[in-house]
Structure 1
Amino acid sequence: MPLKFIATLIGALSLSACASAPLTDASSLSATDNLKPGKTGRTTTKEYRDTTALNGVKRVYLHPTRLMTGSSTRYTLKDNERLLVLTEVEAQLCFELAERYEIVADAALSDAQVHSAVTWFEPTGTAGSGAAAALNFFIPGPLGLRVPGSLGGLAAEAELKQGKTQVAAVVWARQAQALGTDSPSLSRLGDALQFAEPFGDDAARVMSPEPLPAKRTYTTTNDPCLKYGGRINETGFVLDRVTGVYIPTDRTKAMEKTKFQKN
């Protein structure tokens, strides 16, 4: 492929590389008045945290992530796709918060409870992603190209509550960039699923006490998030590095297996 053509394409795509996902008006949060602008750029957030209250939290109960509905939400998710996205968001919240707090299975035993929701979803264009993966093979360096029109995204929110009092909250949105490190995917859910992890990172950051406690570690015998499967998608990680294509993890299979074992 001619280098001149690649250079021209990179220049054109860089003009649209800073597109950002919208923060929707629809919200499941108990309060939004305290939210202040946080990150801007490829990830956009609004955040609130009560450090004094957070420092008193030790045990956390995680409610299932739900899909927010309303006139300003935008998504086209089938039932099985909805379950995959919600489960991935819920899993990433569990993975991150479990490093900071004791995750309990009974809400009555918790000091605080986490509520979360997906508020916006943009599908990944699979045909354009395939073309981008092929093109990236010829381009050296850490940055890859994505085809405009194939850029998926995710918006989500979460809050930590003590009783009826909100002690931390984050509203979060991110869309794939035409030029950057977001891997293309042959799944309509590719971008939304890979963005669930940075959402979990930011939500846990906002919900963390200060200073941070020692990081909690677990084994397969005491991991409170084991029902979601492994924290690292090892097969997908290797394939991403080899092919440049993001391979999502289906965590619903792990959860179905857990239910079967319990029954």
Structure 2
Amino acid sequence: MKSLPLILVAGLAVTACQTAPVANAGFLSRYDGLVTREDTIRASIRQRRDDAEAAKVETVFLEPSVLVGEASAGLSEAEKAQVLREVDRQICYEVSERFTLADAPAGSARLRTAVVGIRPTGGAAGGVSAVANAFIPGPGTFRVPGTTGGLAVESELLSQSGSQIAALAWARNANVVGTDTPSLSRIGDALQLAEPLGDTVGDTISQHDRPVRDIADPDPCAAYGPRTQPAGFVARMVTGLYVPQINTGTAAEKPKE
């Protein structure tokens, strides 16, 4: 049994690599000018931003995210809604730290987002991974090869006139070796990856010198629940699994469109 960690590390370490880009989904109003970032380790990121126009933006209206194409093939209506809600939640958190969120699109820039790909998590293997991790020392997690899920999204910031200010084509698969926690849910990885997606959306639409601001009171994202989920952290520490119902605050009502 002592040799198990070494075998897993040796066999799985070679599989941790950057996610390949996905094809354009046709959601963005334009794709010309997207530049592939070469400094990313795990995600595929193509983005563009007009800094001069981004600097003029003070208020942003967040359109509810949508599913495009075959992104949701094989998922239940509840699973689709949960992925969209988590994408909206994480984007709301990040954008609200940089801009004032508007209640209506009139007079504001608009951020529109589409989930263009969901790679299901191999739920049955989540338990196997959790057990294996109990025998492997160190802070990282190890996953069964071929069972990790993923998420792909396109998002763009439009001016009041409808011209594109910034755009992002983002994709990432959970790594076999890394910090992506196994889950029994087939959307477990997609839900976890919504957080780094939200970070990238916020960075993409903000010019580099835009300061991060304090969260407004009341919190404009309060409908999604608290920004931190300590119960989810505890659950992962105890079970070794990512539990969507705890980590995403799904007890909170989804905001009305």
Both proteins in one fold, TM over 0.5: yes
1:44 alignment partner in structure 2: 44
1:153 alignment partner in structure 2: 150
2:215 alignment partner in structure 1: 217
1:228 alignment partner in structure 2: 224
What displacement does 1:91 show?
1.0
1:67-86 aligned within 5 A: 67-69=67-69, 73=71, 75-86=73-84
1:1-263 aligned within 5 A: 2-18=1-17, 20-38=19-37, 39-69=39-69, 73=71, 75-110=73-108, 112-162=109-159, 163-219=161-217, 222-248=218-244, 249-255=247-253
**Length, aligned pairs only:** 252
Would the aligned equivalents of 1:24 and 1:120 in 2 still touch at CA under 8 Å?
A: no
Separation in 1 of the partners of 2:95 and 2:18? 29
What displacement does 1:218 show?
3.0
Separation in 1 of the partners of 2:167 and 2:206? 11
Which amino acid is 1:119 matched to? V
Deviation readout 1:161-189 (Å, 9 max, x if unpaired): 00221011111001011111111011111
TM-score calculated relative to the size of structure 1: 0.90
Would the aligned equivalents of 1:61 and 1:105 in 2 still touch at CA under 8 Å?
A: yes
| Superposed structure 1 runs of 4+ greater than 4 Å apart | none
Separation in 1 of the partners of 2:157 and 2:14? 38
Point out the more displaced range, 235-244 or 168-177: 235-244
Would the aligned equivalents of 2:229 and 2:249 in 1 still touch at CA under 8 Å?
A: no
Which amino acid is 2:213 matched to? K
Which amino acid is 1:205 matched to? D
Separation in 1 of the partners of 2:203 and 2:60? 15
Would the aligned equivalents of 1:133 and 1:244 in 2 still touch at CA under 8 Å?
A: yes
Would the aligned equivalents of 1:153 and 1:175 in 2 still touch at CA under 8 Å?
A: yes
TM-score calculated relative to the size of structure 2: 0.92
What displacement does 1:251 show?
4.8
- Cα distance change, pair 17–74 in 1 and its aligned pair in 2 (3 A): farther
What displacement does 1:241 show?
2.3
**Structure 2 unaligned regions, length at least 5:** none
3-state SS of paired residue (1:61): strand
Separation in 2 of the partners of 1:204 and 1:35? 16
What displacement does 1:214 show?
4.2
**Structure 1 unaligned regions, length at least 5:** none
- Cα distance change, pair 27–216 in 1 and its aligned pair in 2 (3 A): farther
Which amino acid is 2:232 matched to? G
Would the aligned equivalents of 1:27 and 1:119 in 2 still touch at CA under 8 Å?
A: no
3-state SS of paired residue (2:3): helix
Separation in 2 of the partners of 1:7 and 1:90? 40
Separation in 2 of the partners of 1:108 and 1:127? 47
Which amino acid is 1:239 matched to? A
Separation in 1 of the partners of 2:230 and 2:220? 20
Point out the more displaced range, 14-23 or 193-202: 14-23
- Cα distance change, pair 23–74 in 1 and its aligned pair in 2 (3 A): farther
What displacement does 1:19 show?
5.7
Would the aligned equivalents of 2:47 and 2:169 in 1 still touch at CA under 8 Å?
A: yes
- Cα distance change, pair 24–40 in 1 and its aligned pair in 2 (3 A): farther
Would the aligned equivalents of 2:72 and 2:80 in 1 still touch at CA under 8 Å?
A: no
